[in-house]
Structure 1
Amino acid sequence: MTTPTPSPRKIVLVTGASSGIGEATARHLAAVGHHVVLGARRVDRLALLVKELTEAGHSAEHAELDVTRLDSVTSFADAALARHGRIDVLVNNAGVMPLSPLDALHVQEWNQMIDVNLRGVLHGIAAVLPAMRERGAGHIVNIASTAAYRVDPTAAVYCATKFAVRALSEGLRQENTAVRVTVVSPGFTQSELADQGGDVRAQSAARAATEQIGLPASAIAQAIGYAIAQPDAVDVSEIVVRPTVQN
């Protein structure tokens, strides 16, 4: 997907920016001229990324962020708003995917997925929506998944959170005429999602599929850039990006 003629420089907040789609999005948006404000728990990675971007002549900054805590997300957004006077775009990207069959009863991991994948998105919306509505402009990009459109064994809770993100995004879109809302749903994408937690066999299968057919994270970053670059009156509501061989 090719990004249209570059849009004016925007202040873009990206959650989960220390790896995978978040990192690729930071690189892509900074390279096309936006100022990126990067948040994640792994501050050491963020610092290295921001150093690399700024040394390349791009505009970036970072802050520690835990999307499961409303106060952390609010502080992240408020600090950016105070420094720059506006927030043009929020990319709600942070996510986890510890796969396991339901009868394994990995309740702690179920709660983690709810906290990060769904509650984290809600926290992001709560942190930026009032200022965007007051200004009469803004764009919220929520990262869902092709798991928001189908359910697979071992992924029931993960799919549930992503179905919810898709539903939430559509509700937010319908409630707002000045704030644009986009849900981007990646298929198998090269990232660290399948590297932690979950059932050993399920996670191994997910990693093997990703290694075999996974898209580079930059493909998703370009889709996000495309949506952001559209004119203010154009809302790209949903983008599904999957490998051509993914069923």
Structure 2
Amino acid sequence: MTQLAGTVALVTGASSGIGRATATELVRRGASLALVGRREERLTALAAQILDIGGKALVLPADVSDARAAAEAVERTVEQLGRLDILVNNAGLMLLGPVPGADLDDWRRMVDTNLLGLMFCTHAAIPHLAKAASDQPRRVADIVNIGALAGRTAFGMSAVYCATKFGVGAFSEALRQELAGRHVRVSVVEPGSVDTELRGHNPAVIQQQLAARLGDIDRLESHDVADTVGYIVTRPRHVAVAELLIRPTEQARS
């Protein structure tokens, strides 16, 4: 497919999981990619795979929770790939546990990455996205923010993670209203349980509790969320998908 031929997309958290799958999906649809993340060796391996299938990828190691690093990643994308049409804010952390006795550094890391990192990248990207929206080939640009079911429903043991994802939803909707007249679409994708390494950032006891809560269900795969992002950014210019919740079929609530 070539719906995105001539466009450039930047994906944060591209070294694994949803970010990696999304980068691959957008390349498949014709976009050139800027791959942003902290693990350079993984980004480099992904870029090599993209090159092997005839795509184009730029490796940009960066910690988006640093405002300057986020802005530099955006600027290097435009300098080296010529433009920016799509921003996918995917970088995130899920560090769970009870509020009493919590490690405050974990809270700060989640707020800095899940919320501020997304905001920093968006702030830097908006002028370039607005320019792309006034130009060919699509005359529209996209910001896709990866939220979570936890941005709609709060769960015990996930208080700060939920707070960051509720923040993503609020920021996305307010920004959508601000940019709608400029044909820069803002979407938030809210996956339920996805089989990625995100859960592995938690102690074994927390992982066991998550497994018990969900039971033996077929979880979403990263490519399911990536396919959703691909759908959103290939809608006609007059169609904006503001919010999309995607759950495993068997996931009743949590």
Q: What band does the TM-score fall into relative to the shorter chain?
A: over 0.9
Q: Deviations over 1:28-74 (max 9, x none)?
A: 11112111110100000010111011012122221101011011111
* Residues 205-214 or 7-16, more deviating: 205-214
Which residues of structure 1 form unaligned runs of 5+? none
Code of the residue aligned with 1:201 in structure 2: it is V
Is 1:122 matched with 2:122?
Answer: no
Partner of 1:166: 169
- Displacement of 1:139 in angstroms is 1.1
**Does structure 1 conserve the Cα–Cα contact (< 8 Å) formed by 2:4 and 2:26?**
no
Q: Partner residue of 1:71?
A: 68
Q: Secondary structure at the match of 1:141?
A: strand
Distance 1:203 1:171, change over 3 A: same
Q: Compute the displacement of 1:114 (Å).
A: 0.3
Residue of structure 1 in register with 2:251 after alignment: 246
Q: CA deviation at 1:5?
A: 7.8
Q: Which amino acid aligns with 2:90?
A: N
Which residue of the partner structure matches residue 141 of structure 1? 144
Partner amino acid for 1:138? A
- Give the equivalent residue in structure 2 for 1:216: 221
C-alpha separation in 2, matches of 1:48 and 1:210: 34
Give matches, 1:1-247, under 5 Å.
Answer: 6-135=3-132, 136=134, 137-176=140-179, 177-178=181-182, 179-197=184-202, 199-206=203-210, 209=214, 212-247=217-252
Tell me by how many angstroms 1:138 deviates: 2.2
Q: Amino acid of the residue matched to residue 156 of structure 2?
A: P
Report the 3-state secondary structure (helix = DSSP H, G, I; strand = E; otherwise coil) of the residue aligned with 1:140: strand
Identity of aligned residues (%): 37
> What displacement does 1:213 show?
2.8
Shift of 1:83: 1.9
**Runs (5+) with no aligned partner, structure 2:** 135-139
| 2:2–2:30 Cα contact (<8 Å) kept | no
The CA distance in 1 between the partners of 2:34 and 2:215, in whole Å, is 28
Shift of residue 207, structure 1, vs aligned partner:
5.2
Matched with 2:137 is: none
Contact 1:215 1:242 in 2 (8 A): yes
The number of equivalent residue pairs is 243
**What is the alpha-carbon distance in structure 1 between the residues aligned to residue 209 and residue 113 of structure 2?**
23
Amino acid at match of 1:204: Q
CA contact (8 A) 2:91 2:114 kept: yes
**Contact 1:190 1:211 (8 Å CA) reproduced:** no
